[in-house]
Amino acid sequence: MDIHALQQIVHQTRDARRKQTIPKFSPADRDQLIHKYHPDYRASAYRPIRFGPNADDKTVVELAALLEGDSSIPEQIDLTPQYTTDVLVIGGGGAGCAAALHAHATGAKVILATKLRLGDSNSVMAQGGMQISVAPEDSPVTHFLDTLKGGHMQNDHDLLKVMVEEGPSIAKWLIELGVLFDRQADGNLHVKKGGGSSKPRLLTCSDYTGLEIMRVLKDEVLNQKIQLLEFCAAVELLSDDNGQCTGAIFKDLDNHRHVVVAAKSVILATGGIGRLHIQGFPTSNHYGATGDGLCLSYRMGAKLDHIDTFQYHPSGAVYPEQLIGALVTEGIRSEGGHLVNAKGERFVNELDTRDVVSSSIIRECEEGRGIRTMSGRIGVWLDTPLLDAEHGPGTVEKHFPAMMMQFERFGIDISKDPVLIYPTLHYQNGGVKIDANSETNVKNLFVAGEASGGLHGRNRLMGNSLLDLMVFGKRSGLTAASRAGSMPQGKLTLNHLQRFRADAKKHGNSSGVISPMILPAYTRREPERTATK
Amino acid sequence: MAQEDTNVIDQPEVLRHKMVTIEISGKKYEVPEGITVIKALWHTGQEVVRGAGCLGGFCGACATYYRTKDDPKVRTCLACQMAVEDGMSFTIMPPFPARKALYDIQSLKDPKQDLFNLYPEAPLCRNCNACTEACPQKIDVREGVWKAVFGDFKSVSEMFMDCVMCGMCTPVCIADIAPNLVALYVSRAQGAHFTEKPQGLDIRIKEIQDGRFNDEWSKVLAMNEQELADHCATVK
């Protein structure tokens, strides 16, 4: 059927739906729903990791293969460093920039290396906002409790307390650097309500929050003349005789040469794993989100936490084909957008946590109340025109300019027509286990941002990622920099890699893949050939 | 299943799946109609390292020049956000060596005047409008440059909130202005110097420093798992 004909039911039922309130699930119903429909509970997608710090823990098969994967570095390689620094930051997104800036501000020598350009990251795409408890009726404790509830009570309390308490000072830092957060008429920060939060707490820059923050941070990294190694992908870490981290080996993606960097501390800010397309899901993640930091730190002996849980953002675009997996910001639901099935019914409280909303969308589709596309996708409607009906014409355009433009390019006006959505692989809830200074169990190896684990428990709350990046980027940068003065540069060895390879051999060798992946293999190697008769 | 048949969206590109001929950097290739420009590169076997970033239309890494069949007009797009069509010709824009001024945003004394020291070429705009036409985000770039020069930093910061820093406004400028970099400076100056300080934020920072929430923290942190879960359930 024509898409407009199918959309009619959304228009027809809009007024009736506006009078409806959908209660949130009881804890028992919510657990049942998630266990039945959330991809984290699809047992066939998981297997135990065979060896290493998380031996026998289960994770998705795609990640297990990479963690058990072998390094591209031979054991005999010249480790004479081309660069020497106090702090080596790997990753150029939000956490990496924050770490580099804070470390640099203390006077430490900093190198920031990234496999793509400075700023290429998921951070730049964050649309929903940044949770910071600035409103008078809100508090860091309430932020703590909301996050804990969203994370199924599995969050690391120390990390979480640090994040919510440092939030406000992070907002101040960003404002001083020139970030333009949305304001109320009285000049105070405007706060929006996010899914799973009891109070409005999202600071926003229209629907360009991540982009605005990243434009400013990137510019500041350049202004501070922090040394950059762009298009340099980390392929192995370096350790001294005590197993402490002392640097990294990179592959320069322009000339394919190895670059050795000696560093007193290393901060991995390598982001998430969406481009592994776990369970075949499309992803909202950027090109380089291949979990490199997880593999690198795992080989060094760093323990991972909550590595079996991923966030499937409820609203990834399903139509048009070109936008598959692209995010339709949660902000639409924050402002009252309904989720509607093929029968024109709402089926979940749209502001419930992401895992609950995603599970309920999957349920609707599996039970035959989804809308199919000819390319074999399925989804439910997100009633975007409702926002204009509710808050006045022009609301969608004014509050979601990025979203409007993205769909307009394909001839779709989301202020007039609902969009078809289905969950998309969005975020790695867990990662490398860190302490409150963002350090791993490997001394002088720090991990900040999405690559780290523990803070978000088993489900990250909307808007907590941008804050995570800034807080733990800062703490890792400051801690790493503070050690530089009193610490000599350690020896550069590959002892950890020898240990890892020996361990692999004991367990029937590595998975046969080389990790980290660096970039997804989207390039088609050979065109299909039709056999001649 | 009849119910499902009525629930299927027509997609002409799927119904009549066909190959189209496009030109990539002057070379002809056959690719499926309707895939994005970046996917067309992958489809034709090209490695993409420079030229792909967020793949979501936010980072500007995939700034591309393209032309459609028989149209002399060369246009710009983001390769991850543009579908290919028959007869289309495109090339990814190489990184353009624009000059970025270096500054310490916080210590600027007179940011509106400093603009002319940092970017002395900014007032030399000759109004050709090429920058506006080159912007894949549909920003009125030329207008923004003039507003910057006339000190209307607030308008510039609002106009350029959509800017993905792809830099396509830069190579076309006959006055060698890098409008995106000018606008970035102006927006940061607007935020750091000309926007009211949010008082509520300072109050909250002080409350945290003064330990206003300490009692509540000790109560919450002393709870066992069950108590904490029950307490969380009461937060509405």
Q: Is residue B83 part of a domain?
A: yes
Residues in chain B within 8 Å Cβ distance of A372: 4, 7-9
Decide if B198 and A188 are in contact by the 8 Å CB cutoff.
yes
Of A333, A363, A456, A475, the active-site residue reads: A333
Is there a single domain that holds both residue B11 and residue B60? yes
Nearest Cα neighbor of B53 from A125, A311, A129, A229 is: A125
For the cut 60, the answer to whether the pLDDT of residue B116 exceeds it is yes
* Mean pLDDT confidence for A357-370: 96
| B181 and B223 together in one domain | no
Is position B99 within any domain? no
Considering chain B, what is the average pLDDT of its residues? 94
Q: Select the residue of B34, B188, B201 nearest A178 (Cβ to Cβ).
A: B188
Q: Is A212 on the interface with B (CB under 8 A)?
A: yes
Whether the pTM exceeds 0.90: the reply is yes
Question: What digits encode the pLDDT tens for the residues A177-199?
Answer: 999 999 999 999 999 988 889 99
Same domain, B180 and B213: no
The residue that leads in pLDDT, A1 or A447, is A447
Asked, for residue B97, whether it belongs to a domain, the answer is: no
Q: How far apart are CA A495 and CA A67, in angstroms?
A: 18
Judge if B56 and B116 occupy the same domain: no
Reference A221, options A99, A101, A310; nearest CA is A101
- Total tally of structural domains belonging to chain B: 3
Looking at domain A83-309+429-495, which CATH architecture does it have?
Answer: 3-Layer(bba) Sandwich (3.50)
Residue A369 appears among annotated catalytic residues = no
Report yes or no: A195 and A333 within 8 Å, Cβ to Cβ: yes
CB within 8 Å: A319 and B9? yes
ipTM for this model: 0.95
State the count of interchain CB pairs (< 8 A) between A and B: 233
Q: Is the pLDDT of residue B12 over 80?
A: no
Please give the residue of chain A at the shortest CA–CA distance from B51: A116
What's the pLDDT tens digit per position in B35-46? 899 999 999 999
Would you call A201 a catalytic residue per the annotation?
no
Kindly state the average pLDDT of the residues A500-519.
93
Q: What separation in angstroms does the CA of A33 have from each of A308, A315, A395, B85, B180?
A: 18, 18, 33, 43, 48
pLDDT digits (tens, 9 = 90+) for B207-225: 999 999 999 999 999 999 9
Q: How far is CA B166 from CA A160, A247, A491, in A?
A: 36, 33, 41
CATH number of A3-37+311-425: 3.90.700.10
Residue of B nearest to A123 (CA): B54
Enumerate the H helices of A21-133 as residue ranges: 27-37, 61-67, 94-105
Looking at the predicted structure, is the pLDDT value of residue A151 above 60? yes
Q: Are residues B128 and B185 in the same domain?
A: yes
pLDDT higher than threshold 60 for residue A533: no
B188: nearest CB among A6, A135, A219: A219
Check whether residue B48 and residue B113 sit in a common domain. no
Region A383-411 average pLDDT: 92
| Residue B100 maps to a domain | no
Q: Find chain A residues with C-beta within 8 A of B108's C-beta.
A: none
- For A146, the closest of B6, B55, B235 (CB atoms) is B235
The whole-number average pLDDT for the span A97-114 is: 98
**Is the pLDDT at A82 greater than 70, yes or no?**
yes
Print the domain residue range for B33.
2-92
DSSP code per residue over B145-214: HHHHHTT-HHHHHHHGGG-----TTSTT-TT---HHHHHHHHHHHHHHHSS---HHHHHHHHHHHTTTTH
Quick check: A388 contacting B, CB < 8 Å? no
For chain A positions 440-469, those within 8 Å of chain B (CB to CB) are: none
Instruction: Report helix, strand or coil for B111.
Output: helix
Do B19 and B83 reside in the same domain of the chain?
A: yes
Token pair belonging to A136:
């008078």
Q: Both B171 and B228 in a single domain?
A: no
CATH of the domain at B45: 3.10.20.30
Minimal Cβ distance to A124: which of B54, B161, B203 = B54
Question: Is residue B16 located within the same domain as residue B63?
Answer: yes
Are residue B80 and residue B129 in the same domain, yes or no?
no
Statement: residue A106 has pLDDT above 80? yes
Residue among A179, A37, A33 at smallest CA distance from A97: A179
Mutate to test the interface with B, among A212, A215, A255, A425 (most CBs of B within 10 A): A215
Domain for residue B98, yes or no? no
Question: Could you tell me if B112 and B188 lie in one domain?
Answer: yes
Last residue of a domain, one of B57, B92, B127: B92
Closest-CA distance, B11 to chain A, in angstroms, reads: 6
Q: Are residues B27 and B57 in the same domain?
A: yes
pLDDT band at A509 (very low <50, low <70, confident <90, very high): confident
Residue B3 has pLDDT above 60, yes or no: no
Q: Where are the domains of chain A?
A: 3-37+311-425, 83-309+429-495
Q: Which of B17, B35, B47, B59 to mutate to test the interface with A (most CBs of A within 10 A)?
A: B59
Q: Which residue, A65, A175, A182, A48, is CA-closest to A512?
A: A65
Query: Which of helix, strand or coil describes residue A233?
Result: strand
